[in-house]
Amino acid sequence: MLNTVNTTIFELNGVRQAYPKPSGQDYVVLDDVNLTLKDGEIVGLLGRSGSGKSTLLRIVAGLVRPTSGDVRHHGEPVSGPTDGVAMVFQTFALFPWLTVWENVMAGLKAKGVPTKEAEARAEEAIDLIGLSGFESAYPKELSGGMRQRVGFARALVVHPEILLMDEPFSALDVLTAETLRTDLLDLWMERRLPIKSILMVTHNIEEAVLMCDRILVFSSNPGRVAAEIRVELPHPRNRLEPDFRALVDDIYGLMTARKPLPPLASPTAKRPPAHAEPMVQVSTNLLAGLLETLASPAYHGKADLPHLASAFQHEIDDLFPIAEALQTLGFAEVAEGDIHLTEPGRLFAESGVEERKRLFAEHLVLRVPLAAHIHAALKQAPNHRLPADHVLEELTAHMSDGYAEETLRAVTSWARYAELFTYDDESESFGFEDAE
Amino acid sequence: MVWIHTSVSVKAADATPNRWDVLALPLVIGLLALIAIGGRQMAAPLDSIATAPVVLDPWMLPDYALRSTLRMLAAMAASLVFTFTYATLAAKSRRAGMLLIPVLDVLQSVPVLGYISFTVVFFLALFPGSVMGAECAAIFAIFTSQAWNMAFSFYQSLRTVPRDLDEVADGFGFSGWQRFWALEAPYAAPGLVWNMMMSMSGGWFFVVASEAITVGDQTITLPGVGSYLAEAIAQQRLDAVGWAVLAMLLVILAYDQLLFRPLVAWAAKFRVELTGSQESPESWLLDLYQRTRFFRALFAPLDALIGRAIWWRLTLPRALKVGTAARPLTRWLDRVPARWVDGAWYAALAVVGLYCGWSMVSFIASGADWSDVGLAFLLGGATLLRVMVLIAVASLIWVPLGILIGLRPRLAEAVQPAAQFLAAFPANLLFPVAVVLIVRFDLNPDVWLSPLMILGTQWYILFNVIAGAAAFPSDLKEAVANFRIRGWQWWRDVMLPGVFPYYVTGAVTASGGSWNASIVAEAVRWGDTTLTAHGLGSYIAQATAEGDYPRIVLGIAVMALLVTLFNRLLWRPLYAFAERRLRLA
């Protein structure tokens, strides 16, 4: 932390973001989120996809207005795009028809900064961020790392008070990402950045521990702040240091802790039916792969998630869904940052193709309510067909359209693997395999 | 050139709520009928305009060609203005879009030459005794052949501006003006430029057709290649027809080299894909401009001016404050009574639509009865049959040929520009030749006039299929060779599905063009000889020549209806199927 006396720049209280759904229940993206952002700190928002952290970033930027809650910038309520914030995007979001120079100048020109001053500032930002010599290049001529540097320069040149970063390094390869991180951290520690605070979204636990002074860990569906962690390690931080590792392990544990049942808003509120739980599509190849890895002599049925993540270069968004899917299916248990095989999981790993499918089908019907629901409905239907629209409609009553489609895709691919039922894209309906 | 855009209405399927079409058709035709009624009332005491007679001296052709080109460019300017306003409004306002997009769909279905029949009297009345009115009518006709698909393309681009770029614009507080010129227009540029070029290539046909028009007892000739041709036909001079063809060839060549290619090559820089690997279109003129210091210096002040204009901050600080004050109001409007506001909006539109529909019906009823309606539909059926047969025949010929050409890169490179060139060439210049042949061999016009409808538009099928075959992934080609897939299976399982999305794009354009061409192709003249095929096109042409407005309105309404149904029931499902199942990468 740079300063000892910290003034509050940004304050969010009781922020809730929800969309009304036909079922009468709101689909809640963010629920009761509090956040303060102080002068001189880097704050990380860490969570899985679907935890609403990107939405939160856009609320701070004033691009999204929360359904309810109090958003204040220097004590003033925010309405419309916030002054003094600039954003860096995961996708870089550069204008492909503008050169590096013109991209950096865009924000200044929009604000009507006089040309002389604008050019001086642009040059300064380009030098600072290590882009000199690339001024006349178009984004498509640049590598990913260079493109993101343009993204940084474009954000810094407007001298924002807060720099917002939406997973700025996740589209880059490992080495490039590390270079950019350390470059940015160095500039920040040397106080050469014209900003007072950084708010970043990430799903990379190590990145959060490496860069942030404070980490807010989000839980998903709805997005809530599950924990707030202060990182007191001195800069420059070393990933291999025991304290660093311990903190990473702690956060893994936190994020894999069994989710407590969300408290009901009011005792009379209906809970959605069991089959209307959002699910993430995970390929059965990945599931089988992880089970086989766990069953191999190297792991003896038990592994440390951070270790798996670094061994297979998976970020948490890749690894957690696999682990969680295995847990849902009853093939593995995840707790405190560890994953271990269950008995059926071991059986699966040791079986041949036919036996695996049989086992998978059995667990699918038992443990995935939506699969059981579709299966049962198919059996009852006179012609053994069920239009996908019907199921989708049931799901969208409880979740966003995107999640509903993803959930249905997930169950469809699993059911196809298990040969429980099939899906015909032409008629957009579920049915049974004819050959039986 | 291997990048093809479609922006024909078939693509807008998702954005088009169907019940609005029911309203859109009477709205458009009704409004046109109202214009015609108004024009006719104004035009009663109109003197015929004295224009300089067209001379068949070939040395006059450069002058005529220049005038035709200027008409084309004027229409293009008007189309751009229309695109920037109409499409922007439709994209930015949900309620406006709900109406404007189906209306655009119908506007696109109305035969281009039908617009002339409606509006020429109106424009003549607007500038009494001046050639200005006739010029406006011709330019308007060309405009109607260009504007609709440009607007569609622009609308679709505006709806698909990447969200992250949008957020950058929001974050930096771009004003509406800045957002439009710095983000939205550049993003839409490649698609728009491509459609501009396609429009212009279709436009030559209508330049030729609209320079010499007869409505009732009024014959208006505007000096140009089209009126030169009309004069040649009247005097039965085949040599003059030849000169007109030559002049047109040169004009199109010049326009392709001096305008088409530079524009397309320039617009390539606005493509969003950030990979630099694709081959980019090239133009020697653009290279000349970009690599010559003299030219750059010449245009530098203009460049700077445009650069500054883009970033103009048109939003006044006070207006900004008013905006914030008004925000609770718009929020309130957005939330609570959305259904009522929608309801009121629907009701208002329904009333206007009903009124227009009613005035259309009553106007038709003033000069036509049920037997006319029956006749129009019967003749419409004949034209529909012609279009379907012709598209089928053209597909049977050009799809296999296009595939074979497209798979040979060197050949494709040579044939592709030729096919695009032929698509731009106004086929009506060649009609007299056909008439001479039909008369000479005493052929049945009902059959032998039909090919004229597709003469100019079949090339769209060819060059789209070539593009599709050329873009066929090479790994798939290798797999096909490796597994020895050949013969009928090669066609059925590999190439035909592979080029299908491209084929549909080409066929939609070709079929639309054929409907348009039917008005001139089903009734052609050579001197005093007039050959007529039975069809809706000749029905409209005849009604136009007689100045019989109720029948013009009837014929055009029926044609617009048939074209819309044809698109909805055939092309749109095919296009959706191609998009869903057959799109490679």
Let me know if residue A288 belongs to a domain. Answer: yes
Let me know if residue A264 belongs to a domain. Answer: no
Alpha carbon distance A419, A406 (integer Å): 20
Indicate the pLDDT class of residue A209, thresholds 50, 70 and 90: very high
pLDDT tens digits, one per residue of B109-135: 888 877 877 777 788 777 777 777 888
Which residues from A are below 8 Å from B when comparing CB atoms?
Answer: 58, 61, 63, 79-81, 85-87, 89, 91-97, 106-107, 109-112, 138-141, 147, 158
Q: Report the relative pairing of strands A197-202 and A42-46 from DSSP bridges.
A: parallel
Question: What is residue B78's three-state secondary structure?
Answer: helix
pLDDT tens digits, one per residue of A8-18: 888 999 898 88
What distance in Å separates residue A40's CA from the closest CA in chain B? Answer: 22
* Same domain as A233, residue A300: no
Let me know if residue A249 belongs to a domain. Answer: yes
* Same domain as A232, residue A203: yes
> Could you count the other beta carbons within 10 Å of the beta carbon of residue B318?
8
Structure token digits, residue A158: 């407007």
Q: Does the distance separating the beta carbons of B171 and A63 come in below 8 Å?
A: yes
- State yes or no: pLDDT of B53 exceeds 80: no
Total residues found in chain A within this entry: 436
Q: Which residue of B has its CA nearest to A59?
A: B171
Could you please report the per-residue DSSP string of A206-271? HHHHHH-SEEEEEETTTBEEEEEEE--PPSSP-TTSHHHHHHHHHHHHHHHSPPPPPPPSSTTSPP
Q: Does the distance separating the beta carbons of B168 and A87 come in below 8 Å?
A: yes
* Same domain as A386, residue A345: no
Q: Provide the domain limits for residue A407.
A: 362-436
Q: What's the average model confidence in pLDDT over B43-54?
A: 55
Q: What's the average model confidence in pLDDT over B263-269?
A: 80
Cα dihedral sign, B339-B342-B348-B351 = negative
- Residue of B164, B169, B313 with shortest CB distance to A89: B164
Alpha carbon distance B529, B513 (integer Å): 26
Alpha carbon distance A59, A48 (integer Å): 18
Residue B208's nearest CA partner among B100, B68, B345 is: B68
- Residue of B162, B167, B182 with shortest CB distance to A106: B182
Element (H, E) at A242: helix A242-256
* Same domain as A44, residue A179: yes
Q: Does the distance separating the beta carbons of B182 and A95 come in below 8 Å?
A: yes
Indicate the pLDDT class of residue B9, thresholds 50, 70 and 90: very low
A158 contact residues in B (CB cutoff 8 A): 172
Q: Tell me, what CATH number does A127's domain have?
A: 3.40.50.300
Could you please report the per-residue DSSP string of B203-219? HHHHHHHHSEEEETTEE
Q: Does the distance separating the beta carbons of B269 and A93 come in below 8 Å?
A: no
pLDDT tens digits, one per residue of A313-362: 666 667 888 888 898 889 998 887 788 889 999 999 888 889 999 999 99
Read off the pTM: 0.81
Structure token digits, residue A391: 């199921």
Phi, psi torsion values for B134, nearest 5 degrees: -65, -40
pLDDT tens digits, one per residue of A163-174: 999 999 988 888
pLDDT at B454: 87
- State yes or no: pLDDT of A120 exceeds 90: yes
Residue A90's nearest CA partner among A183, A203, A198, A251 is: A203
Domain boundary among A350, A375, A408: A350
pLDDT tens digits, one per residue of B438-460: 888 888 888 888 888 888 888 88
pLDDT at B196: 87
Q: What's the average model confidence in pLDDT over A377-402?
A: 85
Using alpha carbons, list the distances in angstroms from residue A209 to A112, A193, A233, A246, B437.
39, 21, 9, 11, 85
Alpha carbon distance B359, B355 (integer Å): 6
Computed on alpha carbons and rounded to an integer, the radius of gyration of chain B in Å comes to 25
Alpha carbon distance B206, B200 (integer Å): 10
**How many structural domains are present in chain A?**
3
Contacts of A120 by beta carbon, 8 Å cutoff, 6+ apart: none
Q: What's the average model confidence in pLDDT over B471-477?
A: 83
- State yes or no: pLDDT of B272 exceeds 90: no
Q: How is the beta sheet containing A76-77 ordered, strand by strand? A: A26-38, A8-20, A68-73, A76-77
* Same domain as A240, residue A114: yes
DSSP 8-class letter at A10: E
Q: Does the distance separating the beta carbons of A97 and B168 come in below 8 Å?
A: no
Q: What's the average model confidence in pLDDT over A214-242?
A: 87
Question: What is residue A26's three-state secondary structure?
Answer: strand
* Same domain as A323, residue A236: no
Residue A149: which region, alpha, beta or left (left: phi > 0; alpha: psi -120 to 50)?
Answer: alpha
pLDDT at A267: 44
| Residue ranges, CATH 1.10.3720.10, chain B | 7-272, 367-585
Indicate the pLDDT class of residue A3, thresholds 50, 70 and 90: very low
Element (H, E) at A341: strand A338-341
Alpha carbon distance B383, A202 (integer Å): 62
Let me know if residue A192 belongs to a domain. Answer: yes
Let me know if residue A200 belongs to a domain. Answer: yes
pLDDT at B21: 64
Q: Does the distance separating the beta carbons of A138 and B269 come in below 8 Å?
A: yes
Give the residue carrying structure tokens 């007191």. A232
Q: Which residue of B has its CA nearest to A164?
A: B171
Residues 481-540 of B with CB under 8 A from A: none
Residue A7's nearest CA partner among A33, A30, A41, A44 is: A41
- State yes or no: pLDDT of B46 exceeds 50: no
A86 contact residues in B (CB cutoff 8 A): 171-172
Q: Does the distance separating the beta carbons of A61 and B275 come in below 8 Å?
A: no
Alpha carbon distance A335, A337 (integer Å): 6
Helix spans in B83-162 (H): 88-92, 94-109, 112-126, 131-159
CATH of B7-272, one of 1.10.3720.10, 3.40.50.300, 3.40.50.620, 3.90.79.10: 1.10.3720.10
pLDDT at A219: 84
Average of per-residue pLDDT values in chain B: 80
Look up the ipTM and state it.
0.77
pLDDT tens digits, one per residue of B513-527: 898 888 888 888 887
Lowest-confidence segment of A173-177, A407-411, B260-264 by average pLDDT: B260-264
Higher pLDDT, B393 or B338: B393
Q: Tell me, what CATH number does A303's domain have?
A: 1.10.10.10
Q: Which residue of B has its CA nearest to A20?
A: B335
Higher pLDDT, B4 or A161: A161
Q: Does the distance separating the beta carbons of B167 and A58 come in below 8 Å?
A: yes
Q: Is B321 on the interface with A (CB under 8 A)?
A: no
Q: Does the distance separating the beta carbons of B313 and A87 come in below 8 Å?
A: no
Structure token digits, residue B126: 């607007």
What distance in Å separates residue B182's CA from the closest CA in chain A? Answer: 9
pLDDT at A180: 93
* Same domain as A179, residue A72: yes
Question: What is residue A228's three-state secondary structure?
Answer: strand
What distance in Å separates residue B87's CA from the closest CA in chain A? Answer: 22
* Same domain as A338, residue A367: no
CATH 1.10.3720.10, applies to B367-585: yes
* Same domain as A251, residue A302: no
Angle made by CA atoms A293, A297, A302, in degrees to the nearest 5? 60
Q: Is B328 on the interface with A (CB under 8 A)?
A: no
pLDDT tens digits, one per residue of A33-53: 999 999 999 999 998 877 888
- Residue of B164, B275, B327 with shortest CB distance to A93: B164
Alpha carbon distance B540, B111 (integer Å): 10
Let me know if residue A262 belongs to a domain. Answer: no
Lowest-confidence segment of A216-225, A248-257, B25-34 by average pLDDT: B25-34
Q: Which residue of B has its CA nearest to A80?
A: B324
pLDDT tens digits, one per residue of B134-190: 888 888 988 988 898 899 889 988 988 888 898 888 888 888 888 888 899 999 988
Residue B277: which region, alpha, beta or left (left: phi > 0; alpha: psi -120 to 50)?
Answer: alpha
Q: Does the distance separating the beta carbons of A138 and B172 come in below 8 Å?
A: no
- State yes or no: pLDDT of A281 exceeds 90: no
- For an interface test with B, the pick among A67, A79, A95 (most B C-beta atoms closer than 10 Å) comes out as A95
- State yes or no: pLDDT of B318 exceeds 60: no
Alpha carbon distance A109, A132 (integer Å): 20
Lowest-confidence segment of A58-62, A221-225, A315-319 by average pLDDT: A315-319
Contacts of B558 by beta carbon, 8 Å cutoff, 6+ apart: B373, B376, B377, B380, B536
B324 contact residues in A (CB cutoff 8 A): 79-80
pLDDT tens digits, one per residue of B196-237: 888 888 888 888 888 877 766 667 788 888 888 888 888 888
pLDDT tens digits, one per residue of B327-360: 555 555 555 556 677 777 778 878 887 888 888 8
Q: Which range, A83-87, A197-201, A277-281, B127-131, is most confident? A: A197-201
Average of per-residue pLDDT values in chain A: 85
* Same domain as A311, residue A249: no
Query: Using an 8 Å Cβ cutoff, are B360 and B29 in contact?
Result: yes
pLDDT at B389: 93
* Same domain as A160, residue A46: yes
B175 contact residues in A (CB cutoff 8 A): 110
Higher pLDDT, B6 or B90: B90
In the 3-class helix/strand/coil scheme, how is B118-138 assigned residue by residue? HHHHHHHHHCCCCHHHHHHHH
pLDDT at A436: 43
Q: Is B275 on the interface with A (CB under 8 A)?
A: yes
Q: Does the distance separating the beta carbons of B271 and A139 come in below 8 Å?
A: no
What distance in Å separates residue B472's CA from the closest CA in chain A? Answer: 24
A141 contact residues in B (CB cutoff 8 A): 276
pLDDT at B275: 47
pLDDT at B313: 64
